[in-house]
């Protein structure tokens, strides 16, 4: 790619594709993670150190691209990714509102799709997430894995738990190479920390202990090794919830009060 002219829109698109593939591999794949990390470091160094004639920095180059209607959407995407890789997430997020004006562009729509999907604890982002997916149906095809995971999370935040099953089933049956430890907490939109719920422990018909979250009226398996389950007593707990690839899992935090165990 070093031989391609910088004013070529295809060049800009190729960089966006590479950055997105690295992001996907880094977040979802659990094999050859060292190679993925090395590839990312090598790419970022090459990209950031690239000298562009007439410009002092990449950010200055992105600002120049911004001046043209044709390259402005790509300028915003590249600048957004650059700021994230530079650990300047606040500056990157500040670009989101402006990028919403260019969501007709596939590459911008993909950035918005990922941003909303990773911030579904804010109610307004749930609406924006489903809007961007419905307005850009190609996302469901090209971003199939992310689409099913984010949709599972969005439906849970919406308390539409029956709608999560289709997405979870698609993940289980179609993707065997994923990192099984992938998960994210159910976040409280006010504190921005893992939300705490009250739960009681119950046994299902197969004899497995689950946490019944009172506020949601839902049953979730406990995110603990099986051998530790025998120490649980008949008490009410505070729990946090995690969105895992196999569904929502509860983690016991502390005892609230004495309760009972349904046999």
Q: What is the pLDDT of residue 100?
A: 95
Residue listed under structure tokens 């650059």? 82
Fold of 197-258: OB fold (Dihydrolipoamide Acetyltransferase, E2P) (2.40.50)
Burial class of residue 31, CB neighbours in 10 A (0-12, 13-18, 19+)? exposed
* pLDDT greater at residue 89 or residue 231: 89
Integer Cα distance of 30 and 119 in angstroms: 23
Segment 202-220, tens digit of pLDDT? 888 888 889 999 999 999 9
Q: What is the pLDDT of residue 186?
A: 98
pLDDT(250) > 90: yes
Q: Which residues of 212-238 are buried (b: 16+ CB within 10 A; e: fewer)?
A: bbeebebebbbbeeeeeeeeeeebbbe
- pLDDT, mean of residues 48-65: 64
Query: What is the pTM (predicted TM-score) of this model?
Result: 0.77
CB of 242 closer than 8 Å to CB of 249: yes
Q: What is the pLDDT of residue 224?
A: 66
Residue listed under structure tokens 């599972």? 152
Q: DSSP of 10-79, one letter per residue?
A: HHHHHHHHHHHHHHHHHHHB-SSHHHHHHHHHHHHHHHHH---TT-SSHHHHHHHHHTSTTTHHHHHHHH
Q: How many CB atoms lie within 10 A of CB 154?
A: 22
As a whole-number percent, the residues of the chain with pLDDT over 70 amount to 70
pLDDT(260) > 60: no
Beta bridge partners of 235: 258
Which residues have C-beta within 8 Å of that of residue 248, sequence separation ≥ 6?
156, 164, 186, 218, 220, 241, 242
User: Where do the structural domains in the chain lie, given as residue ranges?
Assistant: 9-174, 197-258
Q: Which of 86, 85, 6 is nearest to 51 (CA)?
A: 6
- pLDDT, mean of residues 243-254: 92
Average pLDDT, the chain: 80
Task: Dig out the tokens for 166 from the structure.
Answer: 């289709």
Segment 4-21, tens digit of pLDDT? 444 445 555 555 555 565
């Amino acid at each position: 790619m070093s031989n391609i002219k910088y004013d070529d829109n295809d060049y800009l698109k190729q960089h966006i594709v590479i950055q997105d593939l690295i992001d996907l591999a880094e977040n979802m794949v659990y094999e050859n993670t060292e190679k993925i990390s090395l590839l990312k470091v090598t790419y970022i160094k090459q990209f950031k150190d690239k000298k562009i004639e007439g410009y002092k920095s990449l950010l200055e180059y992105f600002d120049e691209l911004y001046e043209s209607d044709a390259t402005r959407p790509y300028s915003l995407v590249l600048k957004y990714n650059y700021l994230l890789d530079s650990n300047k997430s606040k500056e990157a997020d500040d670009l989101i509102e402006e990028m919403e004006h260019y969501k007709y562009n596939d590459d911008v729509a993909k950035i918005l799709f990922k941003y909303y999907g990773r911030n579904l604890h804010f109610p307004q982002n749930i609406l924006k997430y489903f809007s961007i997916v419905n307005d850009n149906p190609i996302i469901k095809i090209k971003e199939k894995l992310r689409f099913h995971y984010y949709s599972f999370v969005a439906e849970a935040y919406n308390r539409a738990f029956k709608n999560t099953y289709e997405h979870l089933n698609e993940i289980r049956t179609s993707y065997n190479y994923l990192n099984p430890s992938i998960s994210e907490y159910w976040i409280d939109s006010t504190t921005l920390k893992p939300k705490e719920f009250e739960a009681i422990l119950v046994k299902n018909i197969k004899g497995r202990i689950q946490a019944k979250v009172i506020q949601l009226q839902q049953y979730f398996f406990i995110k603990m090794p099986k051998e530790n389950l025998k120490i649980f007593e008949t008490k009410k707990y505070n729990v946090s919830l995690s969105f895992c690839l196999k569904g929502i899992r509860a983690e016991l935090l502390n005892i609230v009060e004495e309760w009972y165990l349904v046999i």
